[in-house]
Structure 1
Amino acid sequence: MKVVLVGAGSREFGPASIRDLLLSDPLCENGLDIVLMDLDASDLPRMKGYAEAVAGRLGRSPRLSVTTRLADALPGADAVVMAIELDRYFYWAQDFHIPRTFGFPQIYGENGGPGGLFHALRNMGPCVDVARAMERHCPDAWLLNYTNPLTKLCEAQSRLTDVRVVGLCHGVFHGIEQMARILDVPTGQLDARASGINHFTWFESVRDRETGENLYPRLKKREREAHLLHDWDEIALSRILFRVFGRFPSPGANHIGEYLGWAQEFLGSSVVQFCYDPVEGAPWETGEVPTWIYNLADHPTDMPAFPGGPVPRMKPTREQRAAAAEARATRAEAESGNADGGSGRAHEGSGNDADGSGNDASPGNGSVSSVGLDFPGPLTPSGELAVPLLEGILCGVDTYLDAVNIPNQGHVPGLPDGSVVEVPARVDARGLHPRSMKRLPEGILSLLRTQTSIHQLLVDAFDTGSRATLLQALMLDPTTHSYRAAVNVINEMFRVQGDVLPEMEW
C-alpha cells in the first residue's frame, strides 16, 4: 500500500502526515510504503529520520524512501497526498498588500480577492503538474490535496486532468466549535452538516447528536443574546451573515471575508495583518516580511516595544489560547463574584485552530514547532482527514468525513455541475460517497455562484495564458470597484511576481 507525500519537506505537513500514517493500524497492517517527495532535498533526510523514529516508537515497519523526482515517487502509488507552497509568508504579504494599494478591500489574501487569484496562479502550475504526472505513472491513484487556495486548485486539477482529486480542509470544524461556544455545549454534542465552497460553507443542519433536536432555533436566540463584541475578530462577520441569511457560515471572519466586498467593517485584523510603514519600503522591495497577525484574538497587538528580534508570526498556539481563555474566565468570575450564575464563560475563548494556510495546507498545525525532528514528540493524530479517507478507500473502513471538496454532481443544488464544492461524505471500500445536500437559500447561492464563475474563468485563464480572461475573473470579484484598478493590479502583480507566475499575455 503505497502513499506518496508531495511537499514532505514542510515542517508542518511532513511530520504531521507521517505521524497520521504511522498511527493508522489499518494502513500499517496492509504493508505501508511511504515515499517522501519534495523538490527541495535539504529537509528530506531529516524527515526520513523523523519517520524512522516514529515508526520505531510505535513498533511499525513501513518501507520509507525519499526523492526529489515525481517520476521516481509515483509509479505504483495508491494515493498521493500533497501540500505545497513557495516562500509562503513572503508572497502572502504581497498578495495582501498590493491589492490594497490599488484600493481593493483585500481580506487575508489567501483564497479570495486579487490576492487569492495570484496565490492560485503561483500554485496552479505545480499542482497540475503533479496531477499530470499521476496520469502517466499512477492513473488509478487518488490525489488528496491540502494546498490553498483549495477550491481553485482542485478545480484546475479536476478540469485539466483525469485524476481523481479530493480537496481536504479542517475549516468546517471551526464553525462547529463557534456554534458550540454560543450554545454552551461540548463540540462533540453537535451533529452539524455544511455545504458550499471551501472556506465559505453554510450549515444546513445543527442537531444534538444524542437527541436529534434541531438546535438552530436555540442558536439564533443565543446568538442574539450574546454580546456583539464577543470574539469579534473571529465571528462578528459570521454572526451578521447568520442574521441576514439564516444559516451559520464557516470557518471564520478572515476566511469568509475574502469572498465579500464589505467584510472589513467586521474584521479589525484587516488593518494590521503584515503591518509595515510604507515610508520604509514595501515588503516586496525590502525583502523583509512584516509580522503576520492572524487575528486579534488574545491581543497580539500587545507587542513589547523591543521584542528582542524579528517576530515573523503572531498567532497564539493552541495551548496559549486555552490558557488565555481559562485566565479570562477566571478573571470574569472573580470580578462578577459569579452572582448571576454565569460569568460569561460560555462564550469565552477563541478555539480557532486555522493557521492561515487554512489547511489549511498544513495538517497538524503547531504540533511540530515545539519539538525537534530528531525526536518523535507527542504521537497524536493531527485531526486532518487524509488518513481516515485512505483507511476507507484502501482498507475498507466505513468512515464519515465532515468535509470533502469534489466536483459537483448535484451534491449542492443550484451550483454548476463540475464546479468544486465542499460537502460531507462517507467513504468505504467501494469509494467516496459525497452527500447530496438540500438547496441553499437563494441569497447564499448567489454569493457562491459568483465564486464558481470566478474559479472557472481563472482555470481558463491559466490554461490559455490569457490575462484578458483573468481580468474577467477579477471584474466579477466582489472586492473590485474599478476597471482601471483591476487592470493595474494584474500588471503590478505580474511585475512583482513574474518569476513565479505562469506566462500570461493580454
Structure 2
Amino acid sequence: MTTVIAFLGAGSVVFTRELLADILSYAELRDDVTLALHDIDAERLETAAAIARRTAEQLDARPRITAGLDRRAALENAHFVINAIQVGGYAATVRDFEIPARYGLRQTIADTAGIGGIFRALRTFPVLQGIAADMRELCPDAWLLNYTNPMAMNVAYLGTIAPELKVVGLCHSVFWTVHDLAALLGVPLDEIDYRAAGVNHQAWLLRFAHRGESLYPRLDALLQSDSELRRRVRMDMYSRLGYFPTETSEHSSEYLPWYLHHDEEIARLRIPVGDYLGISAENVAEYERTRDTLRAGDPLPLPERAAAEYAPQVIHSIVTGTVRQIHANLPNRGLITNLPQGYAVEVPCVVDRLGVRPEYVGELPAQLAAVNRGLVNVGDLTVRAAVTGDARMVRQAAMVDPNTAATLTVDAIWALCDELTAAHGDLMPETLRQ
C-alpha cells in the first residue's frame, strides 16, 4: 500500500526540505510514497514542489508528488498529515512584537506563551478547526503530526474540538537539549540515557545519565568553574530549580516573571530581546535563496545528516513497525498527575506499528510543576476563550501570563489585547473580534 503524506504549510521550504530528505532516505518510503503538498501561497507552493522533485532526484527516489492550493485534495486518503502552517506569516509576527513593545512589554520569540503566543494561537485555531473538519471526512484514521506553534495550545485545542482524531505534537527541543549538553560535557550522545517531561518548551530532564551515573554533578562542576556559562537563562533556571529545562534561553526567558522586565537581568544573562524578528527575516531570506537556486537549475544543498526531526521517524515506525522512543505532546490524560488534566503535556512515547503511545510519568517534582502551571494557565484560558467565544477570557489569559503580569498593569494588558485584536482583524476567531 502506498503511504500518503500530506504537507500543510509546505511553503515553509527549509523545514520541508529537511523533512523530505529524511523521509526519502528510508528505503521503505523512498519509492512507495505519495507526497501531497499544500500551501495557500502559490509561489511558495511552486517552490516546495520544486524542492520535492529536486530532493527526490538527488536521492534517486521515486515518490509521487502532487501540489495544490486545495487543502482537501491534499488530505484525501492521507495516512499522515504534517502541519507546519503559520497563519498571518511574517507580517503577523511583526505585529505581535511591535505592538506589545510600545506598551513596554519585552519578548524574545513570542510563539509559545505570553502575548505573542496567545495571539498566534487565536489566529491559528480557526484554520485548525477547518483542518479537523476536513480530516474527519477525508482521512479520519490519519495521524496529524503538528509542528505549528504554540504547540501545547494547538494540541490542547484539537484535543478539545476533535478528540477522536489522532493528534500528536512534535518538537525537537528535548533531543537538541541533550545533544548540546552531550557536546558541552564531552560525552557521546548515543551513550546518554535521558527522560524528560513537562509542557512543550518547558519540559525538564528528569533523567540525564551516562552508564547509569547522573551527569548532573558534572554539569554542576562545569558551571561552578565557568562564569560565562552561568550567564544563560536556562543555566540560571537549572541552578535554582535542580533540573535542566529543555528549551533555549531565548525561549525560556519569556515564560517566567523573573528576567525580562529587569534591565540588569537582561545584561547579566545576555537575553536577546526581539530575537525572533531577526530569525523570521532570515527565514524569508533563506526561502528566497532556495527559490532562486531552484530557478537557476543549481543543485539543492541537502542536509549532510538526518535533521533529527521526529515526523520522518514516526512515519517510518508506524509503516514498518520499527520501535523507537521519542518525546511528544499529547493531551494529559493521567500522564502527569500534578498538572491539569486535558491540557497538552510533553512526555516520553513509544512509537511502533500501533502508533504513538505516551508513557506514564506520574508526579513531577513540585517546583517544576509549579513553574509549568504558569504556561498551562495561559494556554488553558486561551483554548477556553476560543471554544466558548468569551473575549474577556483572552484578556484573562494575558493577565495570568508570568512575563506580561510582571511587566504591565491590568489596564495596559486589556488595552494591548484590544489593539492586537483589531490589528489581526479577520485572522482572529469571529466571536473574539470584539
How far does the alpha carbon of each residue in 1:50-104 deviate from its partner, in whole angstroms, 9 at most, with x for none?
Answer: 3223223333222111111122121211110010114533322321232232233
Instruction: Report the Cα offset of residue 477 of structure 1.
Output: 1.0
- Indicate the structure (1 or 2) with the bigger Cα radius of gyration: 1
Alpha carbons 2:117, 2:150 under 8 Å: kept: yes
Instruction: Report the Cα offset of residue 203 of structure 1.
Output: 0.6
Shift in CA distance, 471/273, structure 1 to aligned 2, threshold 3 Å: closer
Alpha carbons 1:174, 1:252 under 8 Å: kept: no
The aligned residue for residue 335 of structure 1 is none
Q: Distance in 2 between matches of 1:371 and 1:18?
A: 19
Any gaps of 5 or more consecutive residues in structure 2? none
- After TM superposition, the score normalised by the length of structure 1 is 0.76
The aligned residue for residue 244 of structure 1 is 240
Shift in CA distance, 24/231, structure 1 to aligned 2, threshold 3 Å: farther
The aligned residue for residue 441 of structure 1 is 365
Any gaps of 5 or more consecutive residues in structure 1? 275-290, 295-310, 314-354, 358-364
Shift in CA distance, 22/116, structure 1 to aligned 2, threshold 3 Å: same
Shift in CA distance, 46/370, structure 1 to aligned 2, threshold 3 Å: closer
The aligned residue for residue 277 of structure 2 is 292
Q: Secondary structure at the match of 1:204?
A: strand
Shift in CA distance, 493/417, structure 1 to aligned 2, threshold 3 Å: same
- 1:34 matched to 2:30? The reply is no
The 5 A counterparts of 1:41-60 are 41-60=42-61
How far does the alpha carbon of each residue in 1:444-492 deviate from its partner, in whole angstroms, 9 at most, with x for none?
Answer: 1112123222222111211232211112211211121421011101111
Q: Distance in 2 between matches of 1:96 and 1:22?
A: 37
Match of 2:293 among 355, 365, 372: 372
The aligned residue for residue 61 of structure 1 is 62
The aligned residue for residue 217 of structure 2 is 217
The letter for the 1-side match of 2:363 is R
Instruction: Report the Cα offset of residue 243 of structure 1.
Output: 1.6
The aligned residue for residue 391 of structure 1 is 316
Instruction: Report the Cα offset of residue 9 of structure 1.
Output: 2.0
The aligned residue for residue 158 of structure 2 is 157
Shift in CA distance, 91/45, structure 1 to aligned 2, threshold 3 Å: closer
The letter for the 1-side match of 2:321 is G
Instruction: Report the Cα offset of residue 272 of structure 1.
Output: 4.9
How far does the alpha carbon of each residue in 1:377-420 deviate from its partner, in whole angstroms, 9 at most, with x for none?
Answer: 3254322110100111222111121x211111222221122210
Alpha carbons 1:80, 1:144 under 8 Å: kept: yes
The letter for the 2-side match of 1:486 is I
The letter for the 1-side match of 2:241 is F
Instruction: Report the Cα offset of residue 12 of structure 1.
Output: 1.5
Alpha carbons 1:8, 1:44 under 8 Å: kept: yes
The aligned residue for residue 226 of structure 1 is 226
Q: Distance in 2 between matches of 1:493 and 1:126?
A: 19
Q: Distance in 2 between matches of 1:428 and 1:417?
A: 25
Instruction: Report the Cα offset of residue 500 of structure 1.
Output: 2.3
Instruction: Report the Cα offset of residue 181 of structure 1.
Output: 4.5
Alpha carbons 2:88, 2:427 under 8 Å: kept: no
Q: For structure 1, which segment, 372-381 or 70-79, has the greater mean C-alpha deviation from structure 2 after superposition?
A: 372-381
Alpha carbons 1:253, 1:267 under 8 Å: kept: no
Q: For structure 1, which segment, 467-476 or 261-270, has the greater mean C-alpha deviation from structure 2 after superposition?
A: 261-270
Q: For structure 1, which segment, 421-430 or 106-115, has the greater mean C-alpha deviation from structure 2 after superposition?
A: 106-115
The aligned residue for residue 133 of structure 1 is 134
Identity score, percent: 30
Q: Secondary structure at the match of 1:207?
A: strand
The 5 A counterparts of 1:7-18 are 7-18=9-20
Q: Secondary structure at the match of 1:14?
A: helix
The letter for the 2-side match of 1:398 is V
Q: Distance in 2 between matches of 1:217 and 1:231?
A: 15
The letter for the 2-side match of 1:23 is S
- 1:462 matched to 2:386? The reply is yes
Match of 2:173 among 167, 171, 175: 171
Match of 2:256 among 250, 253, 260: 260
The aligned residue for residue 427 of structure 1 is 351
Q: Secondary structure at the match of 1:404?
A: strand
The letter for the 1-side match of 2:233 is L
Instruction: Report the Cα offset of residue 213 of structure 1.
Output: 1.6
Q: Distance in 2 between matches of 1:424 and 1:185?
A: 22
Q: Secondary structure at the match of 1:165?
A: strand
Q: Distance in 2 between matches of 1:27 and 1:458?
A: 39
Alpha carbons 1:426, 1:434 under 8 Å: kept: yes
Q: CA RMSD in A?
A: 2.6
Q: Secondary structure at the match of 1:12?
A: helix
Alpha carbons 1:37, 1:73 under 8 Å: kept: yes
The letter for the 1-side match of 2:129 is V
Instruction: Report the Cα offset of residue 155 of structure 1.
Output: 1.1
Q: Distance in 2 between matches of 1:454 and 1:272?
A: 21
Alpha carbons 1:475, 1:483 under 8 Å: kept: yes
Q: Secondary structure at the match of 1:411?
A: coil
Q: Secondary structure at the match of 2:177?
A: helix
Instruction: Report the Cα offset of residue 174 of structure 1.
Output: 3.3
Instruction: Report the Cα offset of residue 441 of structure 1.
Output: 1.6
The aligned residue for residue 97 of structure 1 is 98
The letter for the 1-side match of 2:216 is Y
- 1:475 matched to 2:399? The reply is yes
Q: Distance in 1 between matches of 2:206 and 2:258?
A: 24
- 1:418 matched to 2:334? The reply is no
Q: Distance in 2 between matches of 1:214 and 1:394?
A: 35
Q: Distance in 2 between matches of 1:250 and 1:192?
A: 12
Instruction: Report the Cα offset of residue 251 of structure 1.
Output: 1.4
Instruction: Report the Cα offset of residue 183 of structure 1.
Output: 2.5
- 1:194 matched to 2:196? The reply is yes
Instruction: Report the Cα offset of residue 154 of structure 1.
Output: 1.3
Q: Distance in 1 between matches of 2:107 and 2:57?
A: 47
The letter for the 1-side match of 2:17 is P
Greater helix percent: which structure? 2
- After TM superposition, the score normalised by the length of structure 2 is 0.88
Q: Secondary structure at the match of 1:25?
A: coil
Q: Secondary structure at the match of 2:325?
A: strand
The aligned residue for residue 76 of structure 1 is 77
Shift in CA distance, 267/405, structure 1 to aligned 2, threshold 3 Å: farther
Alpha carbons 2:8, 2:39 under 8 Å: kept: yes
Q: Distance in 2 between matches of 1:242 and 1:251?
A: 12
Q: Distance in 2 between matches of 1:28 and 1:395?
A: 13
